[in-house]
Amino acid sequence: MAIGDVTARRPCSSDEDTPVTLWGATLYCSPVVGMNGGEVTLRQSRDSLMLVLLVIVAILTQGCARGQASEIVATGTIRCSHVTGVVDFSPPLPVSGRSSEKVSVRATLSHCSALGSNVSEVSGGVAMLTIAVPTSACSGLLQFPSQIGNVSTPSSSQTIKVTTTWAPESIRPTVMTLSGFVLTTDDGGDPGFAFPGAGHRAIVVGSFAGKDSGALSVASVFANEGASEILSRCSMLSGLTSIGIVSGEVTFA
Q: Which amino acid is at 221?
A: V
Q: How confident is the model at residue 3 (pLDDT cuts 50, 70, 90)?
A: very low
How many angstroms separate the CA atoms of 131 and 82, rounded? 22
Indicate if 166 and 58 belong to the same structural domain: no
Judge whether 135 lies within some domain. yes
Q: How far apart are CA 120 and CA 185, in angstroms?
A: 33
SS3 category, 179 = coil
Are 91 and 161 part of one and the same domain? yes
Close Cβ partners of 179 (under 8 Å, ≥ 6 residues apart): 157, 159, 196, 200, 201, 202
Residues 6+ apart with CB under 8 A from 168: 122, 123
What's the whole-number average pLDDT of the chain?
Answer: 77
pLDDT interval class at 93 (50, 70, 90)? confident
Is 233 found in the same domain as 151? Answer: yes
pLDDT in tens, 219-237: 999 998 887 888 888 888 8
pLDDT of residue 32 exceeding 90 = no
What 3-state class would DSSP assign to 141? helix
By percentage, how much of the chain surpasses pLDDT 90? Answer: 41
- Which stretch, 34-38, 63-67, 198-202, 207-211, has highest mean pLDDT? 207-211
The residue among 49, 70, 91 that closes a domain is: 70
As for how many domains the chain has, the answer is 2
Tell me the residue range of the domain where 201 lies. Answer: 77-252
Identify whether 214 is part of a domain: yes
- Which residue did the predictor score with more confidence, 212 or 101? 212
Tell me, yes or no, whether 96 and 37 share the same domain.
no
Kindly state the average pLDDT of the residues 131-159: 63
Answer yes or no: pTM beyond 0.75: no
Based on the fold, state whether residues 81 and 28 are members of the same structural domain: no
Do 216 and 138 lie in one domain? The reply is: yes
Q: Look at residues 38, 54, 70 and tell me which one is the last residue of a structural domain.
A: 70
Residue 238 domain-assigned (yes or no): yes
Residues 104, 218: one domain? Answer: yes
Q: What is the pLDDT of residue 104?
A: 94
Quick one: pLDDT at residue 230?
85
Whether 103 and 163 map to the same domain: the answer is: yes
Does 6 fall in a domain?
Answer: no
Residue at 5 is within a domain:
no
Written as one letter, the residue type at 33 is V
**pLDDT value at residue 9:** 40
**Residue 47 shares a structural domain with residue 124:** no
Q: Are residues 47 and 87 in the same domain?
A: no
Q: Please check whether residues 158 and 221 belong to one and the same domain.
A: yes
pLDDT digits (tens, 9 = 90+) for 106-126: 999 999 999 999 998 999 999
